[in-house]
Amino acid sequence: MADTLTVTDNRTGETYEVPITDGTVRAMDFRQMKHSPEDFGLMTYDPAFTNTAACRSAVTFIDGDAGILEYRGYPIEQLAEHSTYLEVAYLLVKGHLPTQPQLDEWTDAITMHTFVHENVKEFMAGFRHDAHPMGMLLGGVGALSTFYPDANQIDDPEIRDIQTIRLIAKMPTLAAFAFRHTRGQPYVYPDNDLTYPENFLGMIYKMTELKYQADPRLARALDILFILHADHEQNCSTSAVRAVGSSQVDPYSATAAGIAALYGPLHGGANEAVLRMLRRIGTKDKVAEFIEGVKAGNERLMGFEHRVYKNFDPRATIIKKACDDVFEVTGVNPLLEIALELEKIALEDDYFISRKLYPNVDFYSGLIYEALGLPVEMFPVMFAIPRTSGWISQWLEMVQDKEQKIARPRQIYTGERELNYVKIGDR
């Protein structure tokens, strides 16, 4: 049996054979289907690209029905248990797990590039005292392109490599500067004696002590969160990075586009919505009433269901375990009791089971961030730090893909045509 699709155009009676490759057909193959020689040809219409593959990628695999998430073929469960974020970042960027010498060299390179130019610090200090941290991060990353003008030489492998290291290294520094700025506190420089998660915790927490010592349980929990958020296939922000990067702009500008997309409440702000929901519920005994409100259509259940995962989010199971370590250090978040009761009822209720409503990664991540003393405005920033390795991996893949061109979606025009101009006095 041939791997083709037979299409009959009932307008003309013509029949076409369209090849099927990797379970897909090429949209351009439909352009040959015309009802007249002057016709442009058929286009495919797919709002939000929900069933359109825009690229071939070997970075991340997701099977939403089975609840599978793999980075370069490795299950997220194994990586979260055995790996570190920087090792996972190496895996995403390089395509394979590193040997110990390779990981040591990679870690040293990133550690040595955590500092930013003093002018960047001054740039960050120029924001209003109440500026949103995500807006500050967006501006800060965009500004980095002016400090590394050679970054636009994207065809040079060595230049691509150093920009990759710089982006992964400097993102926590810019994020911590944004946090301290909102607190009216002096910026804290990186400490190269600390690990990647310890360093970030030090830059947000350090006050007058000579040396910051991070609790290993907090550092590990943060590292796991970073691993879980490192990449997630062709989501909104990754698509933004690829689309902007397709113009052959430098990786800082492309990454800034990803941050801008992540800024939106439907993407990076989802865990903030969960916290607001839990606070609105107020107490454990009001959960049942809230559930009835959801069923009646009067309340929205945040942190449940996922656009991709149809049975369960594999990241949610892992992050739930990380909560225990964090709360062991910080004390139990009072909202956790509400969250657990909400999860318990929802997972036992036929209304939610039949609709495949289950906790996703956002349901618990916000609880951890709040326990770490971070305001809700910092939640998408915490998302952006680890997602940088995914964005840059996708960008590297895109710029070396011979099939890729500058992104240019088509449209279905619905406006007026061939109007005659009317002078302003006659309108």
Q: Name the residues annotated as catalytic.
A: 306, 362
| 75 phi/psi in degrees, rounded to 5 | -60, 140
Alpha helices in 132-230 (DSSP H): 133-147, 157-183, 196-205, 216-228
SS3 19: strand
Cβ contact 367:314 at 8 Å: no
Q: How far apart are CA 31 and CA 43, in angstroms?
A: 6
In terms of DSSP bridges, do strands 14-19 and 4-9 run parallel, antiparallel, or are they unpaired? antiparallel
Cα separations in angstroms, 162 against 65, 150, 186, 314, 372: 38, 10, 29, 33, 32
Burial of 391 (0-12, 13-18, 19+ CB in 10 A): buried
Tally of helices (H runs) and strands (E runs) in the chain: 17, 5
- Percentages helix, strand, coil for the chain (3-state, rounded to 5) are 55, 5, 40
Half-sphere exposure of 124 (CA within 13 A, CB side): 30
The sign of the dihedral angle between the CA atoms of 399, 383, 63, 299 is negative
Cβ contact 266:325 at 8 Å: no
Q: Tokens at residue 212, please?
A: 């910051």
Q: How far apart are the first and last CA of the chain?
A: 64
Half-sphere exposure of 94 (CA within 13 A, CB side): 14
Q: How far apart are CA 78 and CA 174, in angstroms?
A: 30
Q: What is the dihedral of CA 329, 335, 341, 345, to 10 degrees?
A: -130
Cα separations in angstroms, 379 against 67, 187, 219: 24, 19, 17
Q: How far apart are CA 29 and CA 16, in angstroms?
A: 9
